Amino acid sequence: MDFTLKIWRQDSANAQGSMKDYKVTDISSDTSFLEMLDVLNQQLIEKGEDVIAFDNDCREGVCGMCSLYINGEAHGPKKLVTTCQLYMRSFKDGQTIYIEPFRADAFPIVKDLVVDRSAFERIQQAGGYNSFDTGSAEDANNILIDKETAAAAFDSAECIGCGACVATCKNSSAMLFVSAKVSQFALLPQGRIEATSRVLNMVKQMDEEGFGNCTNTGACEVECPKGISLENIARMNREYLAASLKG
In 25-75, beta strands by DSSP E: 68-70, 73-74
Cβ–Cβ < 8 Å for 178, 135 = no
Shortest spacing between CB 125 and another protein, in angstroms: 4
Cβ–Cβ < 8 Å for 34, 83 = yes
Shortest spacing between CB 243 and another protein, in angstroms: 18
Q: Any bridge partners for residue 70, and if so which?
A: 73, 99
Shortest spacing between CB 129 and another protein, in angstroms: 4
Q: Distance between CA 46 and CA 63 in Å, rounded?
A: 30
**Strand 109-111 versus strand 73-74 pairing type:** unpaired
Shortest spacing between CB 198 and another protein, in angstroms: 11
Shortest spacing between CB 224 and another protein, in angstroms: 15
CB closer to another protein, 121 vs 215:
121
The SS3 of residue 133 is: coil
CB closer to another protein, 41 vs 71:
41
Q: Distance between CA 8 and CA 154 in Å, rounded?
A: 36
CB closer to another protein, 137 vs 241:
137
Q: Distance between CA 149 and CA 132 in Å, rounded?
A: 22
CB closer to another protein, 113 vs 175:
113
CB closer to another protein, 59 vs 171:
59
